[in-house]
Each structure stands twice: as structure tokens, then as C-alpha cells.
Structure 1
Amino acid sequence: MKWISPFAMNRLGLLNMNRRNVDYILRYNERQAYPLVDNKLKTKLIATEYDVNTPELLQVVRQQHEISHFRERVEQLEGFAIKPSKGSGGKGIMVILRREEEDYIKASGVAVSLSTLERHLSNILAGLYSLGGAPDVAIIESLVNSDPRLAKYSFQGVPDIRIVVFQGYPVMAMLRLATKDSDGKANLHQGAVGVGLNIANGRCLNAVQFNRPIILHPDTGTPLNSIEIDGWEQMLIMASRCYEATGLGYMGVDLVVDAERGPLLLELNARPGLAIQMANGRGLLPRLKHVEGLERPHSSPEKRAHYAMANFGVAQP
């Protein structure tokens, strides 16, 4: 895997935060579309309308008194995920893998009690994890059983795939792998590994942790350069379809691969971060300008995905 320094990336079209905010987010994202992606519950509902699969919704907790219903329901659940509907950056997400007698085992291996789960739900409703601290609702989803072909590259947590979509075209992608530093979460700022993926075929291009190049997963020692995502074309089409669903011109689409259900939409982001460029070892700007220069944009998600595979792929030995 070839590493390209940040200085070289500037020459290759690195998109900085100011330009992202002004030239792409502000210009291409209508304000009325933000609630669709800032609210995970709304995202799930709109995604279903556009044939984009998501993890099964088990329960919605909107009021404090409804926590008692969770107590009744959780007795029947082996594994599940609790999420704040308006949370960001992975904050407030608690993933439970299994039960051991009276305890619930988190993805990190830590055991928590039922009272801890109820307190977590109460904190979500109070807005502890929401944007601006506004009151929120909690959603309980089915547990994603990660495809073992990808799970072997991650430490405890479920790996996910971030695809940046511009005007409906998937322009750049990366695989995010959980580590001990990231507490089982696929969050790069917390220490997860970012693996740049070739848009043409879903193969590894480059890998970083804390913006430094790596070859092996820091916890498992697994080589990362052999990664290749199965069903890659289907994932790009799913990501492209989110453009029609939301109307957002510039967004991040986060997918996971379930062992039984295949690719699932985890969430959408109207302000995707820029670390994907470090993971790929190249800048976003040339691809964004390419799409802006198209005289006849493609009308269907399938055509846009195929165009991206043909035009934004990277030659590999």
C-alpha cells in the first residue's frame, strides 16, 4: 500500500474544511433536507421507501415512562443496539452482543446491568447526545451480525463502509475498522482504522490510524492490503439511491454488511468528514469537479454507480 504525504495530497486535490463547507455543503445541500439525515429514525423510514435496507427497528422510546416497555421487551432480546435518533459522531450508541445471566455484554466486552441500560435511555431522551442538547428519542435496532469475511479485520466492533456521494455519484469510499482504542466503534477520531477502497472494485488502496500509515491491524495483526469488499457494485447503487431519497447533493453514506441480510444502511451524514482522503491517499476535489463538469448527469442510481466505477477507479498492480 503506497503512502502519500499530506503535502503531496495538496497537489492531488485535497479538499479542506472551509471549501467543503462553502462550495459543497452550503451550495448543494438544501436546509429542509437536513432533518432526514440528522434524525436516524427519519432516515430509516425514508430509506425503506427507496428500497434501501436498514437494520430492523425493534422499538422506539419517546417518553420516560416508555422505558418500562423496554424493560419488558429486552427480556426477549439476545443482542441489540441502542441509538440516539439525533446523535452524531457515534456518541450515545451502545451495542449489546449478548446476555450473561443478569448482565448485558457490550461490543467492547464490558458487562452492564439492566439499570445501566435504562439510565442510558433516560440520558438519550434528555438530549445528552443530541445535536445542541435538544430532547431526543431512543431507537433500539436489531444487532448487525457482521459478515465474517469483513469481521476478521475488525477488533470486536462491526466494520462499516463510508461512501461520499456527490450529486448522486459515489466518488470516494473507505472501510472503517474498530480497534481497542476506539472502544469497538468504527470512529476514526477515536482510533479506528480507515482503509481507502478503490471505487472500481472495492479493493484496499491504503490504510491509516490516527492519520498515520499502517499495514497490519494494530490489535489483530491482520494484513489489510488483501481486503476486497464483496457485492461492491450493489453497495455503490445503494449509496447512489440515497440521493433520490434525500435530495442532498453532498453526503456520506454509511453501510454495514450483515452475514444474512447483506448490505444495510446504517446512517447518512450531511457533513461527512475529510479523513476519507487520508485513508485513500488522494484528494476529493478532482472527482467533485469531474461530476460538476458533466453536461448530462445520469438519471438512475445504477448508471451513476457504473459511471463512478469506470471513471474514479485507481490503477492497481
Structure 2
Amino acid sequence: MRIILAPMEGLVDAPIRETLTRVGGIDRCVTEFIRITHGMLPPRVFYKYAPELHNQSMTEAGTPVAVQLLGSDPQQMAVHGVKAVELGAIQVDINFGCPAKTVNRHKGGCVLMREPELMYGIVAAVRQGVPKNVPVTAKMRLGYDDRSMGLACAQALEAAGAEEIVIHARSKVDGYKPPAYWEEVARVREGVNTHVIANGEIWTVADYWRCREVTGCDDVMIGRGLIARPDLARQIRASQRQEVAPDLAWPEVVILIADYAVALQTRLEDRFVTGRIKQWLNYLRGGYAEAEALWPLARKLRDVAPMLACLQQPVRRIRAA
């Protein structure tokens, strides 16, 4: 009954993985995708997306992190999978789910679901190249143009040797609009023997249990729901024990955001730091009335210092305690 933090390009970076795994309840993370084209990427690119490689592929909280690759050339994907393992990766994940137009236009991500045979070739090449003790996994959607290709693509991934398949319960065309088609994930799961992990529209503890009931999946991957409620995985863990965990109070969330901002300043220019914080605050508006109240002021701030001052003011007393 694992809970996996989903990769989200431009948001779920190493600092936020560190932040959320410190809150607790998350069993595994997956990096933002590393785009593979032609030519061997230098180690610094792998370390940029997965600095956890310096820590035995784990966050400081001890949560394992998989390295995700995105590309369409089987041999290039294979040699980069091997390189990731040489640098310390303990799992290689392959992205067949990204719906971004720029990615799909360059034959990456979800557009590959139009070609199950190419998906097979990519995974087979990576599986053949990567040591057998390192899992090769994949993330996909239910299809590109519609939801009709999910089973065929999952069967191709299974035949190629993927140990696990995460299925985002929508097609590319569906984007991120509700609902998530969990019943379609169940249909695909029933058609393969490979372990299937459900993903999509898990915002609450109740959503988690409904997703598991409908899909039949023991494991789930959560992205936006964990950004909106940083303690969601911890809440789910408590519910599995038939307990109720105390909610993460807003002042505690503000501390997380402030620490996240400090970590970001070591990696990004200030203008990008404020952008990431605003992005997180925007998600938090759905779970916290305080975030909604803060939003009109925060969205106008452009510099890190005023942003941190805005965030830290309510928590000085808590830090002192």
C-alpha cells in the first residue's frame, strides 16, 4: 500500500521532495523528467534533476527517488539509463505520460502512446541495458487522442519488461480536467500481470480509498493533491491504521514554504524562486483558507525578501516555541 509522490515538471524538484518527505507518509518519489535526445548528457545534468544521487538515491528523510527519463530513441534511452545507474540511480522510470505540447511535438511523453511498438522498443532497450537488480518502470496515461490505447500500451510495456506501470487516469486530450477515469485503469490492470499503480484526482483521504476500490490498485501515485495538502500522505497512513492524524496547521505549512524558499535560493535566481513559491501557494488555496487570504498580496510580490517576510511573520512565535 505504497504512496508515491508524482513527478511534476517545474514544481516537484529536489527541494520540494525534501520538504514533503520530511512531513512523512511518502514511500517513493520520482524526479522531473530528464530529456534525452542525441549525444551523452554529462553527469551534472543528472545531478541537477536528481541531487539525491549523491545520497544513495534517497532524500534526507530516507525516501527512495527514481530517476525519470523522457525520449523516443531506444538506444539513447538505454545508454542514459545505464549512466543513471552508474551515477547511483536505484530505479529508472520512463515517461510516456507528459501531455505538454512542446514535449509531444518533439516525440516525447504521451504522444508515444500512438505507437505501442516504439514504447516496447524503448523499455526493452533500457531493460536490456540496465542491471537486472535495478527496476525499470514506466508512467503513462490512458491514451493520447482518446482512452482506447491504454490496454495495448500497457501490454507493450509488460512485454518489454517493465516491472511497474503507473497509469494517469486520463488521456492527453483530457489533460487534467476532472473526472479521472479510474474504472479505465481497472480495465487495463485486469489485462496485464505487471503491477499497476493508479494516479489522478486524489485530493483527500476519501479520494484515496475510492481510487483503490475502483481501480483495484494497492499503490497510488499522488501529485497535485500532495502539493495542496502536504500532509495528505500522512493522513492516508493514519486512515490505514484506522486512526485520524491531526491536520497540518497553516503556521506549520508556512514554515515548510519558508524553508523551501531558502533551499530554492541555492538553486535558482530570485525571480524563479518567487515563481515557484507562488505556484505552491496557488495549489494551497484549495486546502487552506489562509492561503486564499494570502494570495492577493503574495501574487504581487516579485522579490524573495518581501516574500519571505510575508511568509515568516506569522510563524516567528512558533519557531521560538
The TM tier, using the shorter chain, reads 0.3 to 0.5
More strand by share: 1
The normalised TM-score by structure 1 is: 0.34
Greater RCO between the two (CA within 8 Å, min separation 6)? 1
The normalised TM-score by structure 2 is: 0.34
